[in-house]
């Protein structure tokens, strides 16, 4: 039985929304069923994912995944424990990092404007909070891990196999360029991606259109979530794939329109990508203790 409820904050970055759970003592037990219940839009708080705010020193190495190999990760004070809406673990979330930092600032745990570092399962991310409230995250480099031939088919629309580009931005993406963002249909279910062995942990699928020089628009189906209003790592993946498609004359800064707003992605001189966008905290409250007991298995 739970003696007390859990404090939470609700926030979003260009419509990609999250339940933020402060956990300064590392005491919260986030099972997949609890995360899924919190994210349920009818019977829970409703969100695309959960961000647990926990001191990095309290995170077991096995929960850090690949980031455990990062020698400096234990020197970073706060760890972003991100879970998809279905309760699965995720390596990284560009919009989530911005909301995570907005919470740290609002709670007085860090000062702003200025720079700070956040630990994630994809490694350490450097973050800058600007005077206007916008947040820039250094997302690391984008890589093209292959295979060379990737194809995507949507399950709700025409049985077309679109060619895609596999991009890794700390988590896996398949980027499809289309003539019209309506072409994929409603994206109610996860697209089929082949070859299956290319993405053993699942994949985020972006459908993108190049609008003009340095300007693209996109939709995304996030693994473990569904179609979302925005995806920060997805915007970085679209940026990388679009620059590859355009060629050497491509601008180094692109505006990426998402259903929930607008993001900016730029390539730094060292090859890392920098994602800039808003982060909004909407509400705060307490998750009822008896409700938590009811949703645990």
pLDDT tens profile 185-242: 989 899 999 998 899 989 999 999 999 999 999 999 999 999 999 999 999 999 999 9
Candidate ranges 68-72, 130-134, 141-145; pick with highest mean pLDDT: 141-145
Q: Where in the chain is the domain with CATH 3.10.310.10?
A: 6-134+279-295, 150-271
pLDDT given at position 2: 55
pLDDT given at position 115: 80
Question: Does 1 have pLDDT greater than 60?
Answer: no
Question: Does 68 have pLDDT greater than 60?
Answer: no
pLDDT given at position 243: 97
> By mean pLDDT, which of 54-58, 63-67, 192-196, 277-281 is the weakest?
63-67
pLDDT given at position 157: 65
Work out the angle at residue 66's Cα, subtended by the Cα atoms of residues 65 and 70, and round it to the nearest 5 degrees. Answer: 115
- Give the integer Cα–Cα distance in Å for 167 and 4: 43
- Give me the CATH topology for the region 150-271: Diaminopimelate Epimerase; Chain A, domain 1 (3.10.310)
Stretch 56-71: mean pLDDT: 70
Question: Does 104 have pLDDT greater than 70?
Answer: yes
CA distances from 286 to 20, 42, 270 (A): 11, 17, 43
pLDDT band at 49 (very low <50, low <70, confident <90, very high): very high
pLDDT given at position 110: 87
User: Beta strands 215-222 and 253-258: pairing type?
Assistant: parallel
Written as one string, the DSSP assignment of 262-274 is: EEEEEE-TTS-EE
Question: Does 67 have pLDDT greater than 70?
Answer: no
136-183 pLDDT per residue, tens = 999 999 999 988 899 999 977 667 899 999 999 989 999 999 999 999
User: pLDDT above 90 covers what percent of the chain?
Assistant: 79
Dihedral pair phi/psi, residue 82, rounded to 5°: -100, 135
pLDDT band at 37 (very low <50, low <70, confident <90, very high): very high
Stretch 99-118: mean pLDDT: 89
Catalytic residue among 34, 50, 51, 93: 93
pLDDT given at position 160: 85
pLDDT band at 75 (very low <50, low <70, confident <90, very high): confident
Catalytic residue among 20, 112, 169, 231: 231
pLDDT given at position 70: 59
Q: DSSP state, 122?
A: T
pLDDT given at position 111: 77
Is 267 within 8 Å of 273 (Cβ atoms)? yes
Which CATH number is 6-134+279-295's, of 3.10.310.10, 3.40.228.10, 3.40.720.10, 3.40.50.2300?
3.10.310.10
Mean pLDDT across the chain? 92
pLDDT band at 72 (very low <50, low <70, confident <90, very high): confident
pLDDT given at position 61: 75
pLDDT band at 102 (very low <50, low <70, confident <90, very high): very high
Give me the residue label for tokens 């455990």. 68
Output the pTM of the full model.
Answer: 0.92
Any catalytic annotation for residue 93?
Answer: yes
Give me the residue label for tokens 């929960």. 63
Stretch 25-34: mean pLDDT: 95
């Amino acid at each position: 039985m739970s003696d007390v409820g859990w404090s939470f904050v609700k926030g979003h970055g260009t419509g990609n929304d999250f339940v933020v759970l402060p956990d300064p003592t590392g005491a919260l037990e986030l099972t997949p069923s609890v995360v899924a219940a919190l994210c349920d839009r009818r019977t829970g708080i409703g969100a695309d994912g959960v961000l647990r705010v926990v001191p990095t020193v309290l995170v077991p190495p096995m929960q850090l995944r690949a980031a455990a190999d990062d020698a400096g990760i234990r020197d970073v004070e706060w760890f972003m424990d991100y879970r998809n809406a279905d309760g699965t673990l995720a390596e990284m979330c560009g919009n989530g990092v911005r909301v995570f930092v907005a919470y740290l600032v609002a709670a007085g745990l860090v000062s702003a404007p200025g720079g700070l570092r956040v630990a994630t399962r994809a490694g350490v991310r450097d973050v800058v909070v600007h005077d206007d409230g916008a947040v820039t995250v250094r997302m690391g480099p984008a890589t093209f891990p292959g295979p060379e031939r990737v194809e995507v088919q949507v399950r709700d629309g025409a049985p077309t196999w679109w060619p895609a580009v596999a991009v890794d931005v700390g988590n896996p993406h398949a980027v499809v360029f289309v003539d019209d963002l309506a072409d994929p249909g409603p994206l109610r279910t996860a697209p089929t991606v082949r070859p299956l062995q290319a993405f053993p942990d699942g994949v985020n699928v972006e459908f993108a259109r190049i609008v003009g020089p340095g300007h693209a628009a996109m939709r995304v189906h996030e693994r473990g979530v569904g179609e979302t209003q925005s995806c920060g790592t997805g915007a970085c993946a679209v940026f990388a794939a679009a620059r590859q498609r355009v060629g050497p004359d491509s601008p180094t800064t692109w505006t990426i329109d998402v259903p929930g707003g607008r993001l900016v992605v730029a390539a730094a001189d060292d090859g890392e990508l920098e994602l800039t966008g808003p982060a909004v905290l909407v509400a705060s409250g307490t998750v009822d203790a008896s409700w938590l007991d009811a949703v645990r298995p």
